[in-house]
């Protein structure tokens, strides 16, 4: 009986495992089925959109061509009218002159016939008057009438090769691409931003520039956010926990037109943006409070972040300092200090010196100048079970500036995975963007 019970338990266990395997298999199949549905939906929606774009484009093209042809026809007809009027005008003048001459000759003929056949007593007087009038009219002077070869003969020269050229151009106009040459590859959350990466998927395509666009939520229009040769870009001013749709295209080497857009993808960030603390005398902030400007006030001190929004594993970047002092990260806000060169803080001064807990390191970075970018990267170094119980806590810190970096371990006496950032300036003119 015990063996039978054990065998039954074993069979039951195997049956349960088979059931779980079947459920997992079904889930995988359902997931693949959803993927097929999405693929079919993408094909159909993109095909419908492409049809609409093609129909609209060629409808606009036909309207434009009809308008251009009508304008050209009107121009040629106006040219015919102008030549006709200009050529007919002298003929009309000549006709009037001839008709006037015919009328004068008729009058003269009637007068001459009347003089010849008139009364004998008045004949001499009439004949004398008629002769004088005939001499005055100059009957031997005739207006010149142009020959047919000397007047315009209008015709239209229409080159049939235009139809051949248009036919060849139209047959080559437009293409249908089944796969864009560039696709979005990765979205990385940043505080108040998203790092977007893309890659080339067509080996035969040689990109010259990329164009990244985005739109918030269900907005109707995309807007350009980056155009350049890089394959990644940090999009700032992103609201946390809001979906943004991204797409990218490229321009081939030596070409003017852009490639088809990539498949649009959704990106979002859950990280709130980095902000400086407002209200500290001596500093002015931008509207989004991510840019700090040291003003002309004589007040000095450390400007801290509004909250400990810098977490281990992230990259903290400072950009565009203008004068000399220091910037860095710290465990906590400590009022009363005029510099971050103190305990529980790491920082870099503008001469490139690196300070850890107030002590200057031997290694030094290049001097920070206007337009420089300084980045802080940190990761937790595990020291065993006791590291989170009040003992030593170690962070691996990497500070980069001007294409050089220093790496060191920062030992703290408490567990700390989120940090404040700060800066201290003695002179006006500093301007720092943090992201």
The first and second tokens of residue 146, run together, are: 């142009």
For residue 327, name the pLDDT band (cuts at 50, 70, 90).
confident
The answer to whether position 3 is within a domain reads no
Question: CA 76 to CA 270: how far, in whole Å?
Answer: 66
Whether 392 has a pLDDT exceeding 90, the answer reads no
Domain co-membership, 318 together with 405: yes
Domain co-membership, 153 together with 32: yes
Q: What is the model's pLDDT at position 223? A: 93
Q: What is the model's pLDDT at position 123? A: 66
Domain co-membership, 308 together with 388: yes
Domain co-membership, 392 together with 357: yes
Average pLDDT, the chain: 85
Ramachandran area for residue 338 (φ above 0: left; ψ -120 to 50: alpha; else beta) = alpha
Whether 118 has a pLDDT exceeding 70, the answer reads no
Whether 272 has a pLDDT exceeding 60, the answer reads yes
DSSP E strand stretches across 253-344:
265-267, 283-285, 291-294, 302-304, 310-311, 315-319, 325-330
Domain co-membership, 66 together with 194: no
The answer to whether position 10 is within a domain reads no
* Residue closest to 354 by CA, chosen among 365, 368, 369, 338: 365
Q: What is the model's pLDDT at position 326? A: 80
* Most confident of the following: 43-47, 49-53, 63-67, 141-145: 63-67
Helices (H), ranges, 117-208:
120-137, 161-172
Whether 242 has a pLDDT exceeding 90, the answer reads yes
- pLDDT tens for 167-224 read 888 888 888 878 889 999 999 999 889 999 999 998 888 899 999 999 998 778 999 9
The answer to whether position 9 is within a domain reads no
What single DSSP character describes residue 259?
P
Listed residues 213, 235, 269: the one ending a domain: 269
Radius of gyration, CA atoms only, the chain: 46
Question: CA 321 to CA 401: how far, in whole Å?
Answer: 12
Alpha-carbon distances, residue 161 vs 165, 168, 353 (angstroms): 6, 11, 75
Query: How many angstroms separate the first and last alpha carbons of the chain?
Result: 71
200 and 181 Cβ atoms separated by less than 8 Å: yes
* Locus of tokens 């509004």: 306
Q: What is the model's pLDDT at position 431? A: 84
Whether 226 has a pLDDT exceeding 90, the answer reads yes
* Residue closest to 111 by CA, chosen among 103, 98, 96, 99: 103
Listed residues 269, 298, 315: the one ending a domain: 269
| Residue-number span of the structural domain to which 201 is assigned | 182-269
Listed residues 122, 137, 172: the one ending a domain: 172
Q: What is the model's pLDDT at position 138? A: 67
Lowest-pLDDT range of 356-370, 375-389, 411-425: 375-389
* Residue closest to 329 by CA, chosen among 415, 237, 424, 407: 424
Global pTM reads 0.60
Contacts with 435 (C-beta within 8 Å, 6 or more apart), sequence order: 190, 191, 192, 193, 234, 236, 273, 274, 290, 317, 319
The answer to whether position 86 is within a domain reads yes
The first and second tokens of residue 408, run together, are: 């060191």
How many domains are contained in the chain? 3
Question: CA 398 to CA 409: how far, in whole Å?
Answer: 9
**Cα 156–chain centre separation:** 47
212 and 226 Cβ atoms separated by less than 8 Å: yes
What single DSSP character describes residue 383?
-
The answer to whether position 202 is within a domain reads yes
- For residue 247, what is the domain's CATH number? 2.60.40.10
- For residue 362, what is the domain's CATH number? 2.60.120.920
DSSP E strand stretches across 163-306:
182-190, 193-200, 207-216, 223-228, 232-236, 244-252, 265-267, 283-285, 291-294, 302-304
Domain co-membership, 161 together with 261: no
* Residue closest to 329 by CA, chosen among 297, 363, 294, 354: 354
Residues in the chain, overall count:
435
The answer to whether position 350 is within a domain reads yes
């Amino acid at each position: 009986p015990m063996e039978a019970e054990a065998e039954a338990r074993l069979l039951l266990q195997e049956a349960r495992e088979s059931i779980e395997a079947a459920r997992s298999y079904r889930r995988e199949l359902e997931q693949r089925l959803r993927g097929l549905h999405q693929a079919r939906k993408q094909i159909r929606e993109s095909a419908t959109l492409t049809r609409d774009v093609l129909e609209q484009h060629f409808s606009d093209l036909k309207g434009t061509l009809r308008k251009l042809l009508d304008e050209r026809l009107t121009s040629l007809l106006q040219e015919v009218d102008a030549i006709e009027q200009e050529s007919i005008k002298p003929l009309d003048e000549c006709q009037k002159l001839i008709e006037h001459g015919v009328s004068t000759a008729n009058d003269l003929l009637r007068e001459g016939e009347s003089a010849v056949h008139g009364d004998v007593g008045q004949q001499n007087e009439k004949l004398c008057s008629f002769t004088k009038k005939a001499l005055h009219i100059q009957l031997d002077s005739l207006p010149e009438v142009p020959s047919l070869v000397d007047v315009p003969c209008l015709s239209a020269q229409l080159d049939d090769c235009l139809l051949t050229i248009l036919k060849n151009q139209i047959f080559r106009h437009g293409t249908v691409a089944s796969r864009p040459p560039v696709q979005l590859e990765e979205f990385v959350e940043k505080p108040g931003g998203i790092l977007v990466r893309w890659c080339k998927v067509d080996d035969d395509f040689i990109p010259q520039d990329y164009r990244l666009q985005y739109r918030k939520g269900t907005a109707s229009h995309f807007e350009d956010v980056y155009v350049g040769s890089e394959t990644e870009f940090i999009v700032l001013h992103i609201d946390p926990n809001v979906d943004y749709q991204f797409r990218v295209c490229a321009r081939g080497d030596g070409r003017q037109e852009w490639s088809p857009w990539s498949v649009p993808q959704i990106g979002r960030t859950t990280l709130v943006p980095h902000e400086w603390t407002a209200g500290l005398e001596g500093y002015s902030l931008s509207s989004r409070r991510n840019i700090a400007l040291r003003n002309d006030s004589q007040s000095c001190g450390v400007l801290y972040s509004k909250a400990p929004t810098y977490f281990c594993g992230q990259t903290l970047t400072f950009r565009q300092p203008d004068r000399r002092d220091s910037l860095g990260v710290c465990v906590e806000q400590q009022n009363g200090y005029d510099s971050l060169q103190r305990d529980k803080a790491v920082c870099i001064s503008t001469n490139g010196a690196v300070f850890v807990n107030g002590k200057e390191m031997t290694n030094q970075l290049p001097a920070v100048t206007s337009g420089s970018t300084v980045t802080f990267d940190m990761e937790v170094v595990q020291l065993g079970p006791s590291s989170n119980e009040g003992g030593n806590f170690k962070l691996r810190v990497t500070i980069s500036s001007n294409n050089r970096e220093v790496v060191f371990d920062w030992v703290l006496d408490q567990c700390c995975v989120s940090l404040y950032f700060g800066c201290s300036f003695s002179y006006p003119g500093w301007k720092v963007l943090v992201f």
